[in-house]
Amino acid sequence: MAPKKGVKKQTSKPDIPTGPRPSEILDIPESEQRRLIQQSELFKNAASLTAPELDRGPEADSAKAATLGDEIFNLFLLIIPFGSLLLMMDILIHQQYTQTPTFKGEVSRMTEMLPIFAILIFYTPPDRYKHLAFYQAFLFLISLSAGGRLIWVVNKSNYLRVMRQTPALATVWVYAVWELNLAAAVASLVLVGGWVWYTGLKMVF
């Protein structure tokens, strides 16, 4: 028999397994999502990359600790002019007493005095402690002591002690005044000058 017209033949479709919808997959509580992210390696890597940037502040960016090589280089930059001043003062004080300085004698005296002065410069760098009040007070006392002692030795001691002590005292005095702030340096010089005037000592000899 011929099939009847107008009647559609029903075909059976294979059963396709259906899983959860995308909205159901992503439907995870927020607390659970946070816990999963924290436990993942991705979170650890991101934290390790961003932690230095979070810890970095304006002071950490601007202030960098000087290495030992930089400090030694700065030491040489200062020891050259002040060592030259020390040598010049030693030569001048010998000329003052008509003593002819010899090369061997100058080398011997510089070998004795320069290491001590280098240690002083190395442990008192101007860019590290100059802004501190206690350091300025320390330099102020050094300036008063060195200046007063220098003038006292020149006026009251014999020529042997003058030749032995005045080069180092003069160099330390100049270094202390150079390290001081302007107001403190002027104040120390005024006090030394006032003490010299009060005691009747002479500034020159």
Q: What is the pLDDT of residue 60?
A: 45
pLDDT class of 99 with cuts at 50, 70, 90: confident
Average of per-residue pLDDT across 79-88: 91
Task: Please name the amino acid found at residue 47.
Answer: A
Give the tens place of pLDDT for each residue, 2-12.
Answer: 455 554 445 55
pLDDT class of 115 with cuts at 50, 70, 90: confident
Lowest mean pLDDT among 59-68, 80-89, 100-109, 110-119: 59-68
Q: What is the pLDDT of residue 11?
A: 52
Q: What is the pLDDT of residue 127?
A: 65
Q: What is the pLDDT of residue 15?
A: 52
H or E element that contains 167: helix 159-179
Residues ≥6 apart with Cβ < 8 Å to 124: 135, 139, 179
Given a contact cutoff of 8 angstroms between Cβ atoms, the answer to whether 171 and 117 are in contact is: yes
Q: What is the pLDDT of residue 51?
A: 44
Residues ≥6 apart with Cβ < 8 Å to 128: 66
Give the tens place of pLDDT for each residue, 26-62.
Answer: 556 676 666 666 666 554 554 454 444 444 444 444 4
Q: Which among 90, 76, 79, 80 is positioned nearest to 168, based on CA atoms?
A: 90
Average of per-residue pLDDT across 120-127: 75
Rounded to an integer, what distance in angstroms lies between the CA atom of residue 160 and that of residue 181? 34
pLDDT class of 191 with cuts at 50, 70, 90: very high
pLDDT class of 101 with cuts at 50, 70, 90: confident
H or E element that contains 170: helix 159-179
Q: What is the pLDDT of residue 49?
A: 45
Residues ≥6 apart with Cβ < 8 Å to 165: 149, 150, 153, 157
79 has pLDDT over 50: yes
Percent above pLDDT 70 for the chain? 64
Q: What is the pTM of this model?
A: 0.63
Give the tens place of pLDDT for each residue, 138-158.
Answer: 899 999 999 999 999 999 888
